[in-house]
C-alpha cells in the first residue's frame, strides 16, 4: 500500500470500508534525487505517458526521474515460483509476476523502510481502483499534526497516496495492512521510503492490476 498528502479543501470523505490503508506513505518528503539518473529509451518512455483513467488524469513520468532498471520488462524468472505468483524482492527493489516458460514480468518498486516492512507468503485478498486512504491509528498517535487532518479518510484520486490501484494482502484470512499500490511520486521507485508498503508507478500498477486476479499468491522476500 508517499508523504502525507498536502491538505486541500474538502477532499476528506468518510470511508465506507474499514480497511486500514494508512501504512503506505512516504517517510520523508525529500522530493526527487538531485542527481536524477536518466537514460531510458524513447520506447520505454512512451509506455509511461499520460493516462486518463476513471475520471482522473495520471501525468506522464519524466524520463529524468527514471532509471532503466525500473522500467517494466520481461526477464528470465529468478524466483522459481509457479506462474501467476507475485514475488516482491524488497532488497533489490523489484516485483515479479511469474509467467510461463521460465519468464517473469519485472517491475521497479519502492519499498518500506527497515523495520516497517512485511515478509512471508500472503494472497491478494482484495483489489481496489482509485482506493480511499486513511492513516492508521498508530500513525495518528505518532504524528498527530501530520496525520490527524486525514483521520476521517481521503477519497480516491490523483492526490491520494495509494495512487490508481491497490492490491490488499491477506494472510490466514486476516488483513496484513500491507499493500501493493500506485504512487504519484515516481522518483521514489527504487527507494526505501514508505511506511511499509510496496509502491509502483501508476502506469505499472494499472498494468499489474489487470493481470492479477483476486486470491493470487504473493511471496514477499525478507529485506
**Would you list the DSSP string of 67-85?**
-GGGS-EEEE--S-PPTT-
**Ranges assigned E (strand) in the chain:** 51-53, 56-58, 73-76, 86-89, 94-98, 103-108, 111-112, 120-129, 165-171, 174-183, 192-194, 198-201, 217-220
3-state helix, strand, coil in the chain (%, to 5): 15, 30, 50
Dist CA 133 CA 188 (whole Å): 19
Q: Is 181 a catalytic residue?
A: yes
**Would you list the DSSP string of 147-166?**
HGGGTT-B-SSTT-TTTTEE
Dist CA 64 CA 62 (whole Å): 5
Q: Is 103 a catalytic residue?
A: no
| List 93, 106, 128, 181, catalytic entry | 181
CB 135 within 8 A of CB 179: no
| List 4, 40, 122, 197, catalytic entry | 197
Strand pairing class (73-76; 86-89): unpaired
Active site residues: 181, 197
Amino acid at each position: 500500500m508517499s508523504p502525507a498528502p498536502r491538505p486541500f479543501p474538502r477532499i476528506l470523505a468518510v470511508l465506507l470500508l474499514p480497511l486500514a490503508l494508512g501504512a503506505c506513505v512516504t517517510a520523508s518528503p525529500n522530493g526527487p534525487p538531485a542527481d536524477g539518473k536518466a537514460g531510458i529509451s524513447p520506447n520505454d518512455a512512451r509506455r509511461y505517458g499520460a493516462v486518463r483513467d476513471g475520471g482522473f488524469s495520471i501525468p506522464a513520468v519524466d524520463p529524468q526521474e527514471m532509471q532503466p532498471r525500473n522500467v517494466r520488462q520481461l526477464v528470465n524468472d529468478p524466483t522459481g515460483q509457479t506462474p501467476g505468483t507475485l514475488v516482491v524482492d524488497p532488497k533489490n527493489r523489484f516485483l515479479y509476476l511469474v509467467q510461463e516458460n521460465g519468464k517473469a514480468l519485472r517491475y521497479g518498486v519502492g519499498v518500506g523502510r527497515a523495520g516497517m516492512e512485511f515478509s512471508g507468503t500472503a494472497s491478494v485478498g482484495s483489489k481496489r481502483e482509485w482506493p480511499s486512504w486513511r492513516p492508521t491509528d498508530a500513525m495518528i498517535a505518532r504524528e498527530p499534526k501530520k496525520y490527524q487532518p486525514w483521520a476521517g479518510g481521503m477519497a480516491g484520486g490523483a492526490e491520494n497516496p495509494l495512487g490508481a490501484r491497490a492490491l490488499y494482502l491477506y494472510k490466514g484470512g486476516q488483513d496484513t495492512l500491507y499493500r501493493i499500490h500506485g504512487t504519484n511520486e515516481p522518483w521514489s521507485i527504487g527507494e526505501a521510503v514508505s511506511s511499509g508498503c510496496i509502491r509502483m508507478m501508476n502506469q505499472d500498477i494499472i498494468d499489474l492490476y489487470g493481470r492479477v486476479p483476486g486470491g493470487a499468491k504473493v511471496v514477499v522476500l525478507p529485506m
